[in-house]
Amino acid sequence: MFSPTRLLVFAGLAVSLAECAIVAPAYQGVPATTSDAADFNGTTTDASSIASTAQQVDQKSGAASDAPPDLPVAATTVTALDGTLVNASVSSTTRRGLTNVPSHLTRRNNSNYELVFWGTGTGPNDRDASIEGTAYLTYTLVSNDTYNIDDCLAKCDSVDGCVFANLYYEYNNPGLDALFSNLKCALYGDVHDASEKTNFGGQQLYPAPGGLDYIQQSSGWAAKSLVDPATPAGYDLVFGPTGGANNAPGYMGFAFLDKYDVNACATLCNQRGADGVGGACQYFNIWRAVVNGNPTTYTCSMYYIVADESSAVNFGQGDLVVTESRGYKRQNVVVDGGFEGYTCTPPGQEVPFCFTEGYANWQGTSPAGGNFDASIFNYQPYAHSGSAVALLGSAFGTDQLPGTLAPTQSLSTQAGASYTLQFFHSSFYSGQQSEANASMKVIWNGQTVATLNPGFAQWTPHQFTVTAQGNDKLQFTGGSAPAYIFIDDVSLFPLLE
């Protein structure tokens, strides 16, 4: 039995809806204003830019003649960003309980090596050259008493990410002479071949008329057995390794790395600024570019839509071949943040349309006297992506009370850790005038993280940093029909520092 007050409220709301010609969402209403649909299909990978930049970048290096031995491996460097050549180091992703150890192209699962090429140049008129290639790590000196292959390979074993060693003599180098060994062991994080023996020395390191430095007996060994790099913290491996890079929607840009370093790529994804349409980076594809048969660079492509192997169809262009392609998706603590777990296929309808106050993953609740003030719809025209979306505000338009939407289960978080909360909202359904007072609160463990008063707004991403206490509670509260608020694509990512 409705009270006279409630009847007046309903009557007033009905007049408001009638004046604005608004049909409530529960009746499959059409928005009073046109939404700028999120354009995901027009943001596919810019493979041409990646290929052309790969022809310009020069990441080949080796053991410099004037560098001391046994220097620590340098931090991974970004050599190009979105088509522009740069030179900037990347810090690895770390968080409580995780170590800062880079994951390079591959790692041995034993200490066995195979000879790739044997050195030449043993006489006064017979010269050789050392490797200048990608993913140079460091070098050491081994005993001059013999051509000390074992000690060189043992050094490679001890350096994280080393898969290739180049052993050679360098003569007329005063720095080496002072250390009583001119037998250099240069280590790399990628495998090289004799075609990359391009450093013939030729530098005047001793004062004239001292002779120029030169190289002899340059040999190369590669690890026989290789395994996948460790998956970065906060990510899951989606596919790989394969010979195809992703050509997928939600593309956010690319970076070239000087090593195959999945941790560095994860860091770039974490730190990438949010896209105005798609929000935060949620997926990256790392792969090695081989040009004319030689490793040239390591591409890190970033996306705000999670891709998979079905779109890994870019096998290269011209002289560039894609190798060692792997895809990683960012771990989302929120289960079914896009509400796609709620589905229906009504009889006789080509486009699914149904709604509920709750299902296995999310629950909407109404205050006393409310009716469907928070609900979940399976109806693609209302959604930001996919086919499902959540609604705050009476779905039937029968009251002006705010609803509350929350996951049905507590979030599996790590106490004390920081997380990035992201979601998309729209409040355009009823038009500018009726949506002018649209508002909502974001609540974390009972505390208001933010109060949003967007008024009329089309799909907009929001990000907030929250601190977990473990088994956390997330709620969205708001909406007041006809000032409806739609929510979609909710995510909670570990904030790795």
Q: Which CATH superfamily is domain 4-30+335-494 in?
A: Galactose-binding domain-like (2.60.120.260)
d(CA 223, CA 159) in angstroms, rounded, equals 13
Q: Inform me whether the pLDDT recorded for 101 exceeds 90.
A: no
Q: Inform me whether the pLDDT recorded for 389 exceeds 90.
A: yes
Residues 146-193 have pLDDT tens digits of: 999 999 999 999 999 999 999 999 999 999 989 989 999 999 999 999
pLDDT for the residue numbered 38: 59
How remote is the C-alpha of 168 from its chain's centroid?
39
Q: Inform me whether the pLDDT recorded for 7 exceeds 70.
A: no
Lowest pLDDT segment from 283-292, 345-354, 428-437: 345-354
Residues 428-480 have pLDDT tens digits of: 999 999 999 999 999 999 999 999 999 999 999 999 999 999 999 999 999 99
Q: What is the DSSP letter of 371?
A: S
Residue 110: Cβ within 10 Å count: 10
Arithmetic mean of pLDDT, 33-51: 73
d(CA 106, CA 136) in angstroms, rounded, equals 14
d(CA 375, CA 359) in angstroms, rounded, equals 10
How remote is the C-alpha of 21 from its chain's centroid?
44
In this structure, what is the dihedral angle of CA atoms 239, 244, 250, 256, given to the nearest 10 degrees? 100
Residues 105-133 have pLDDT tens digits of: 444 444 689 999 999 887 777 899 999 99
The Cβ-side half-sphere exposure at 112, using a 13 Å CA radius, reads 5
The rounded mean pLDDT for the chain is 88
Q: Terminus-to-terminus CA distance in the chain, angstroms?
A: 57
Residue 259, CA distances (Å) to 150, 189, 281, 289 in order: 25, 7, 21, 11
* Position 345 confidence tier, pLDDT thresholds 50, 70, 90: confident
pLDDT for the residue numbered 123: 72
pLDDT for the residue numbered 124: 74
pLDDT for the residue numbered 21: 73
The answer to whether 461 and 420 are in contact (CB under 8 A) is no
Q: Inform me whether the pLDDT recorded for 36 exceeds 80.
A: no
3-state secondary structure of 196: helix
d(CA 169, CA 142) in angstroms, rounded, equals 10
Q: CB under 8 Å to 257, separation ≥6 — which residues?
A: 76, 77, 78, 79, 90, 264, 265, 286, 297, 298, 299, 300
- Return phi, psi of residue 195, to 5°: -65, -15
Q: Inform me whether the pLDDT recorded for 289 exceeds 80.
A: yes
Q: Inform me whether the pLDDT recorded for 365 exceeds 90.
A: yes
Which segments of 225-342 are extended strands (E)? 235-242, 251-257, 283-291, 294-303, 316-317, 320-330
* Position 67 confidence tier, pLDDT thresholds 50, 70, 90: very high
pLDDT for the residue numbered 106: 47
pLDDT for the residue numbered 191: 95
3-state secondary structure of 179: coil
pLDDT for the residue numbered 495: 83
Arithmetic mean of pLDDT, 321-328: 97
Q: Inform me whether the pLDDT recorded for 99 exceeds 70.
A: no
* Position 210 confidence tier, pLDDT thresholds 50, 70, 90: confident
pLDDT for the residue numbered 112: 84
